[in-house]
Structure 1
Amino acid sequence: MKLIKQGIFMVEISKPFTREEAMQHAIDCTKCRDEEATRKDLDNYSQALEQLERTGSEFHGDSIVALKSEISKLENWLESDALKSGNYPIGIDRLMTELIEWRSVVYAIDETDFNDGLFNKSAFFAQWAVGAVYAINAIIGKMVNQNSQDNSLRKLWNKVYIFIKRDGFADKSEINALTTNFNGERFKNDGSKVILYRNTSIAHNEKNTQPKWSDVDEDLRILTRAWALITSWCSYGLFNSLRCNEVAFMGLEKHFTPEQMNQLYLKRLEYLGRIRAWGMHPIGHNLNPDDIKPLDLNKTYSLFGGNGPTITTHLV
């Protein structure tokens, strides 16, 4: 293991990477690896290969070779003992999208005033609300974990940020700031109320210092920006999309009117617009109303521009 100095911190680098190796490593760490996601990737790659082969191999020879190689890797992975036994980590893309899914729905519910205590009076919905708090805080903890065996966003950032900086993909001062956040006190008990809660209330039963949602969003903005830079830099377009509104709120139709459901949909899109702004602007940038716009309806977006997860949105 190699240590390099970043400011006052010593950052772990498991081995010297080439730029190409770093990009491939970023793809391997971020992509979803379960059977469902693998089969979706396999279908998409196979369709892409068919389209290229129809247009003639003389024009797309390198791309065809690359696609066949990826298809072979996916087929081998589907047959592997590691997949069948669950001996693999969840991809960072899956964890981050789940984190955003949870938070956007909670935001929508909190920002509307017509639920009449549904999430307090009903034991089922109250348990869902508690589960949302636990899931959100637990995933943030996974993303910044310092365990060398974890597939965390922090660990991946420390391995690839040098190449992102060299490529001029973001301002050097911002990359340094993100690296300081990941390796300093920012994501420890004294620097993050979310991590304090995760470590003392979820993982253990020492305290009950639940953070505010504004505390969660402060941490999530940093994670979103780092994730956006990595996924855009390594040029890997994600096929998996965030859920549409109807799926995100499925089951609530019996409790709310169609107009109220539409209000929930719009509030969720408002929060996803905030996520998009966090991913596309430096962490030191003071966002203004023009930066944070709800996602338009009936359109498919690349969440951070260029590459990245997409979301299709529309009203009922």
Structure 2
Amino acid sequence: MISLKPNCTAITFKNMEKTKENFIFLMYGTIEKDRIDQEIQRNQEMVDGGYVTAGQIQDQLDYLKRLKADPNYQNGNLPRGVEKIILQVMESFTFWHSINEVDADFFLTQDNYIHNLINVSITFMVSCELAKLFNNKPEDFSLSNIWNHDINEIKKAKIASEDEIDYITEQFARNESTRSQAIKRFLDFRNKSVAHNDNDTGMQWSDFVSTINFVNRAWGIIDEYYSPNCFPRPIQLSDQLYIPLQPHFTLPQIEQMKEARLKLMEYMFKAASTNLLTGAQDNIKPFGDLKITVKIELQRK
């Protein structure tokens, strides 16, 4: 739920009250509608069971009930959390990347119309999602607007060096002379080739990876500012994604895909702890260790 300024009705970044609670909502989002009833029941059972932390659990239970009753939540009008967008981009990109790492006699891994169609579709999808984080209109719920609102407090907190913070601010600004070439090519691709019918801007996948690494570092610093001294959140990668591919690839090939996906995800996660100017590593870690989840379904005879 997002609280708005007096006399405002439209849910926008410009209209929302600039409270810590609202920013945390923008950053991490909220629970999906298909899971909220289960979470309400789980919290209710813990409250009824007399847990030591029942007071905190009751607060969470009350919040979930208010959220479920919120018309904006019911109608899907609340913005997605920035973290959800970042993870969706990385998971989609790394999944498609992993398939292309395998040398197999199957149409998904070969140069043909269907492969190219899927490649273009995924390129456009992840580019549109990632570019949203750079939006800087006053109404936009973007990483750029969150960063620029908190920039002075982030400097005071000394989470990162002032030079690196200024560099990140320059990348979010719409100034072609200060943006890195990789981010410039990526945003040109999104703004010209995707949004408009212009010529190819020459973007490479390496530009996309560089841009997501930049986003992860900026996200890591903001996450550290709003959630200091917190354990990194573990990320669950679903193993189910590869099940439809099993009839078409050998088991070693499937394992090769999973390893390629995990390796690239870990590389992107490491960027959150890497100074953009010096390359030095620090303790900023918004994402925890990757875990693979496997869903087992029992089939009735």
User: Among 52, 55, 75, which residue is 2:52 paired with?
Assistant: 55
Asked if residue 73 in structure 1 is aligned to residue 67 in structure 2, the reply is no
Asked if residue 192 in structure 1 is aligned to residue 189 in structure 2, the reply is no
What residue in structure 2 maps to residue 133 of structure 1?
Answer: 123
What residue in structure 1 maps to residue 27 of structure 2?
Answer: 30
Q: Which moved more, 1:274-283 or 1:183-192?
A: 183-192
Distance of aligned partners of 1:286 and 1:46 in 2 relative to their CA distance in 1, 3 Å threshold? farther
- Asked whether the equivalents of residues 144 and 182 of structure 1 are also in contact (C-alpha less than 8 Å), the reply is yes
Asked if residue 232 in structure 1 is aligned to residue 230 in structure 2, the reply is no
Which residue identity does 1:167 align to in structure 2? A
Asked if residue 273 in structure 1 is aligned to residue 266 in structure 2, the reply is yes
Separation in 1, partners of 2:247, 2:46: 41
Report how far residue 263 of structure 1 moved.
0.6
What residue in structure 1 maps to residue 290 of structure 2?
Answer: 311
- Asked whether the equivalents of residues 107 and 115 of structure 2 are also in contact (C-alpha less than 8 Å), the reply is no
Report how far residue 82 of structure 1 moved.
0.9
Report how far residue 88 of structure 1 moved.
1.8
What residue in structure 2 maps to residue 296 of structure 1?
Answer: none
Which residue identity does 1:200 align to in structure 2? K
Any idea what the Cα deviations from partners look like across 1:243-281, whole Å, max 9, x if unmatched? 23x223332112210001111111111101101210112
Which residue identity does 1:313 align to in structure 2? I
- Asked whether the equivalents of residues 143 and 153 of structure 1 are also in contact (C-alpha less than 8 Å), the reply is yes
% of aligned pairs identical?
A: 18
What residue in structure 2 maps to residue 282 of structure 1?
Answer: 275
Distance of aligned partners of 1:68 and 1:310 in 2 relative to their CA distance in 1, 3 Å threshold? farther
Separation in 1, partners of 2:163, 2:104: 44
SS at match of 1:313: strand
Any idea what the Cα deviations from partners look like across 1:285-315, whole Å, max 9, x if unmatched? 337xxx7xxxxxxxxxxx964x546631389
Matched ranges for 1:158-237 at <5 A: 158-183=148-173, 184-185=175-176, 192-209=184-201, 211-235=203-227
Which residue identity does 2:292 align to in structure 1? T
Separation in 2, partners of 1:153, 1:141: 10
Any idea what the Cα deviations from partners look like across 1:72-106, whole Å, max 9, x if unmatched? 22211212211222222221111110011012123
Report how far residue 31 of structure 1 moved.
2.0
Separation in 1, partners of 2:265, 2:63: 33
- Asked whether the equivalents of residues 189 and 196 of structure 1 are also in contact (C-alpha less than 8 Å), the reply is no
Distance of aligned partners of 1:139 and 1:16 in 2 relative to their CA distance in 1, 3 Å threshold? closer
Q: Which moved more, 1:108-117 or 1:142-151?
A: 108-117
Separation in 2, partners of 1:266, 1:216: 20
Distance of aligned partners of 1:165 and 1:261 in 2 relative to their CA distance in 1, 3 Å threshold? same
Any idea what the Cα deviations from partners look like across 1:159-216, whole Å, max 9, x if unmatched? 2232222222222221121112112436699961111111112111122335211110
- Asked whether the equivalents of residues 104 and 271 of structure 1 are also in contact (C-alpha less than 8 Å), the reply is yes
SS at match of 2:279: coil
Q: Which runs of 5+ in 1 are unaligned?
A: 1-11, 58-63, 292-302
Separation in 2, partners of 1:208, 1:247: 35
Distance of aligned partners of 1:48 and 1:267 in 2 relative to their CA distance in 1, 3 Å threshold? farther
Separation in 2, partners of 1:173, 1:116: 49
- Asked whether the equivalents of residues 45 and 71 of structure 1 are also in contact (C-alpha less than 8 Å), the reply is yes
Which residue identity does 1:30 align to in structure 2? M
What residue in structure 2 maps to residue 102 of structure 1?
Answer: 92
Separation in 2, partners of 1:111, 1:30: 33
User: Among 221, 235, 244, which residue is 1:241 paired with?
Assistant: 235
User: Among 150, 155, 176, which residue is 2:145 paired with?
Assistant: 155
Distance of aligned partners of 1:248 and 1:25 in 2 relative to their CA distance in 1, 3 Å threshold? same
- Asked whether the equivalents of residues 131 and 187 of structure 2 are also in contact (C-alpha less than 8 Å), the reply is yes
Any idea what the Cα deviations from partners look like across 1:114-168, whole Å, max 9, x if unmatched? 3555345665554332221011111111010112212111111112232222222
User: Among 117, 133, 136, which residue is 1:143 paired with?
Assistant: 133
The alignment covers a number of residue pairs equal to 277
SS at match of 1:36: coil
Any idea what the Cα deviations from partners look like across 1:18-59, whole Å, max 9, x if unmatched? xxx34x3331111233413655765676677678x42377xx
What residue in structure 2 maps to residue 257 of structure 1?
Answer: 250
Distance of aligned partners of 1:50 and 1:87 in 2 relative to their CA distance in 1, 3 Å threshold? same
Separation in 1, partners of 2:65, 2:262: 36
